[in-house]
Chains A and B, each alone.
Chain A
Amino acid sequence: MTMRRAPHKNRNRSKRRDKGGWKKLLWVKQSYPDNYTDEETFLDHLQRNPRLRPYEFWPLVADSMVIVQQVCTMIIFVCCFSGIIQDRVSPVTVVSWGTLGTILGWVLWDIWVGQEEALKATVQVEAKPSEDTPPVGLGLQLAMTSMSTTNGSPQKHHSRQNSASSSRLGTLLDGKVAPADAKGAGPTYSYYPPFGVTASRFSPRNQQRLATLKSALLIYCALLGLSPILKSLTKSTASDSIWAMAFWLMCINVIFFDYGGGVGGTNFPASLSTNAALMASTVLASRLPSTTHVFSLTLFSIEVFGLFPIFRRYLRHFSFPGHVMVTVALVVGASAGTTLSMGSGGWKSGLAGVVLGCLLTSFAMGICSWWLIGLQRYKNEIHGPWDPARPIVRGT
């Protein structure tokens, strides 16, 4: 039995030439021992780092701005809270500025969506219609969902459905073609009235704006009604627990935030993260003295954690300078806010904080990017025939 299998490697080599050599086959009886390793073909199909895309420094720094934005937003929110609870800032001021900003952002967003629609329409006329019409009216829908998961009152559910359906209606009317029809219908379907809805006198875009307005109003009223409940929600819980809980919830928000999300991809930017932030703001709000305080902080948190990320996402998509500017503004705001709320105040210390914060942030961004690029050396991804194949299936 052992005679059959040639034992010596050198003899194997000579045999190799004689008989065509070893084959990587199991069904032929070969004159090689079972542990024979063919040096020429062994690990032939091994691929190392086949899809390695080396990072470059500046793009990496630019990409890291998304994280900086989220962290700074969080810090600003905490600073606002600390200002409110220490009676340094009036909650109404905070929420007024916040709302002003939100309205401004919404106007910009509306313009961008309009531009995109127009672009898409022209593309549709020129070529085959693309499949993804961007989801519109998503912001309020998101906020409402988050709210209803946070406190889940029947009223909320009702309003959420209302908002969802209205915004869906908006999509249907606004997006020239409903997504489902986009494939089959030709470019001629520029306006497609849904079943059971009579054509209204508003244009689709205006109708969508109205729907958004309605949702906003609903959120506003609901929050007004809920504020007293929220205020006494965690009265029986010690403040220490609240601080700890809020801290961890905010950590969850920062960690699970959907940093990679693009425009029009998923409707909900990481619901876990948003929900965590809103819950944090709810528990924090319950430490505040009056209903106005609670209302203001909750509304502010919805604006900051629910709507602002969507705006930032669109901003990044449409205007890179704007993206950088917002980042800088956020860093400045966060560092100034931190120093102001920690120290005794005064614009000098604020300025020092801003300088320090900006330096620190840019330094951290640079160091981290450089570090990540350095770590690429250790990347060792192994692929080979043993990996499960990725089936290519058409039509899915």
Chain B
Amino acid sequence: MPYNIAMVCDFFFPQPGGVESHIYQLSSKLIDRGHKAVVITHAYKGRTGVRYLTNGLKVYHVPFFVVYRETTFPTVFSFFPIFRNICIRENIEIVHGHASLSSFCHEAILHARTMGLRTVFTDHSLFGFADAASILTNKLLKFALSDVDHVICVSHTCKENTVLRASLDPLMVSVIPNAVVADNFRPLASTASNLDANTFPGEPKALEPSHQRLGPNDTITLVVISRLFTNKGTDLLIAAIPRILADHPNVRFIIAGSGPKAIDLEQMLERNVLQDRVELLGPVRHEEVRDVMVRGHIYLHPSLTEAFGTVIVEAASCGLYVVCTRVGGIPEVLPAHMTVFAKPEEDDFVAATNRAIAALRANKVRTEKFHEQVKMMYSWTDVAERTERVYDGISGVLSEEEFYGQPIGWSATKGRSGAQSFALIDRLKRYYGCGIWAGKLFCLCVVVDYLIFVFLELWAPRANIDIARSWPKKPPAKAGISNADGPVEVGRRRSTRRDHWKGNPIG
């Protein structure tokens, strides 16, 4: 069953970043699977109105007041009229919000529930519970997620965190990891071999030993690509670099990225006179990351907190051995033979790096196999497939028992199988539990939101809103789908078409 999905987030292209590319990749894979996806984000400088990206992905850039680091000002209600218009125009059935710092997404979830749409929220980050900023964010998240149909987290640690922060039932939180476009992160040798013989992607590598074996005196290059912030562990890196370089004469560093800690890093290099052994590249674009990575043998990831850590998957895909700190969701991401874990301590980090260098020198690590392995582990197609199952579950296509793994049983707030009731009184019950004062405040917000909705229905009736014509699509390519699925795919495609013909009033 194809869905019309609206991805709502403050963060989207042209701004680069992990959340942005997640939304883009997921949307385009969902489109490939026969769904319709639009992205709603705020207007960026020089980019307003409606844009189409590759694959017919439609992006709405809504003009909005941006407060801080591309996050819009949380106004709770002001987004509603235009959001309602977009949803009706695009026949939206599911609203999928991303990133917990995006107030756009929280507002969209609230309004979507008021309009009677299904909502999904994807959390991409970890938050603590101690400082004032986190407490405020968590309260807002609790508000937004009181009435959400399903939540997706990028790692199990992230799931635990989100469940605690928003007081959710763990069963309504799915873990669907990020993925990488493995073809964009090929190791050097494999690109060469693939160019040689494109027809047999597996074979040339078997014929060709390809990877140079490292001798005891060959130079090993360690790569670091990260924004140079405190929470990315730059202090740890600054402390570790001189010790690693002192231990190993044939080791070089390549560090890419910029940030407030860059000055400390440069000072450390000058103090220890290491400029000729450490290359600072400054900020690199995401497209260039692979070209930097393939210059090295080991990727160092000293981050102090990380929900998923896409960059270490990218590094492994490029055939780099990964040294990383055991924090957040990182231990879940890669298998043990690709990584060396360290505690977030200087001594242990240096020791782990030494172990990695020794293992590489002993040729114990088969880095040339990493690319194919990572390709098997993470793909956006798989992510889209799993996300689709979430959509099936919340819209009642899957039975409650099938989706939740156990009968949930009757409760006041749940309606029919696996789907949350839209009745206002049920929604108010969910919001009321948010806190002594907050609960009442949230209920007030929801009631006002509902009144605005009623007003909008009268003021700008649905009948007067044009339905957008959807992007003309080729039959979806059935890459990697078994033949048994074929008829289903065709049927799905047809129904999509029919819907759209029906939906076009002007023709």
Contacts and interface: CB of A to CB of B under 8 A. Distances in A.
Interface of A: 1-2, 5-9, 12, 24-28, 33-37, 42-43, 46, 381-396
B170 A42 contact: yes
Contacts of A12: 405
B70 to A, nearest CB: 22
B492 to A, nearest CB: 13
B170 A7 contact: no
Contacts of B307: 386
Interface string B156-177: 1110110110000011111111
11 contacts: A1-B385, A7-B401, A26-B332, A33-B405, A34-B386, A382-B164, A385-B160, A388-B327, A391-B304, A393-B346, A395-B239
Q: Interface SS of chain A: helix, strand, loop or mixed? A: loop
B311 interface: no
B226 to A, nearest CB: 14
B280 interface: no
B49 interface: no
A42 B385 contact: no
Interface in B337-354: 344-347
B402 A46 contact: no
Given A2-B402, A46-B160, A389 B129 contact: no
B420 to A, nearest CB: 15
A9 B405 contact: yes
Which of A5, A37, A384, A390: most chain B Cβ within 10 A?
A37
A386 B161 contact: yes
B305 A7 contact: no
A259 B235 CA distance: 31
B170 A37 contact: yes
A215 to B, nearest CB: 36
B354 to A, nearest CB: 16
B333 A35 contact: no
Contacts of B172: 35
Interface string B116-131: 0000000000111110
Given A34-B176, A36-B405, A394-B347, A389 B304 contact: yes
Contact of B129 (A37, A382, A395): A382
Given A27-B377, A34-B176, 6 more contacts: A7-B405, A33-B403, A34-B152, A43-B160, A381-B130, A386-B307
B406 interface: yes
B127 A35 contact: no
Contact of A391 (B158, B332, B346, B386): B346
B160 A388 contact: no
Interface residues of B, number: 59
Contacts of B401: 7-8
Nearest to A380: B129
A389 B170 contact: no
Contacts, number: 132
Contacts of A43: 160, 163-164
Which of A8, A28, A386: most chain B Cβ within 10 A?
A386
A27 B316 CA distance: 12
A16 to B, nearest CB: 13
B189 interface: no
B370 to A, nearest CB: 12
A2 B334 CA distance: 25
B231 interface: yes
Contacts of A37: 170-171, 173
A262 to B, nearest CB: 24
Interface of B: 126-130, 150, 152, 155-158, 160-161, 163-164, 170-177, 231, 233, 235-236, 239, 302, 304-305, 307-308, 325, 327-329, 332-335, 344-347, 377-378, 385-386, 389-390, 392, 398, 401-406
A393 B235 CA distance: 8
A175 B177 CA distance: 60
A35 B328 CA distance: 19
Contact of B406 (A8, A24, A26): A8
Nearest to B151: A35
A389 B177 contact: no
B161 A384 contact: yes
Given A43-B164, A388-B304, A389-B344, A9 B233 contact: no
Contact of B344 (A1, A46, A384, A390): A390
Given A2-B402, A394-B346, A387 B305 contact: yes
A24 B155 CA distance: 9
B344 A392 contact: yes
Given A9-B405, A386-B161, A26 B177 contact: yes
A393 to B, nearest CB: 4
Contacts of A389: 304-305, 325, 327, 344
The 9 closest A-B pairs by CB, nearest first: A34-B174, A389-B344, A386-B126, A392-B345, A388-B305, A37-B170, A386-B161, A35-B174, A26-B177
Contacts of A394: 239, 346-347
B405 A391 contact: no
B476 to A, nearest CB: 16
A50 to B, nearest CB: 12
B314 to A, nearest CB: 14
A390 B327 CA distance: 10
Contacts of B327: 385, 388-389
Nearest to B327: A389
Contacts of A395: 239
Contacts of A26: 155-156, 175, 177, 308, 329, 332-333
Given A37-B171, A385-B327, A27 B161 contact: no
Contacts of A384: 157, 160-161, 164
Contacts of B405: 6-9, 12, 33, 35-36
Nearest to B387: A34
A1 B393 CA distance: 13
Nearest to B158: A386
B239 to A, nearest CB: 4
A42 B160 contact: yes
Contact of B333 (A27, A34, A381, A386): A27
A2 B398 contact: yes
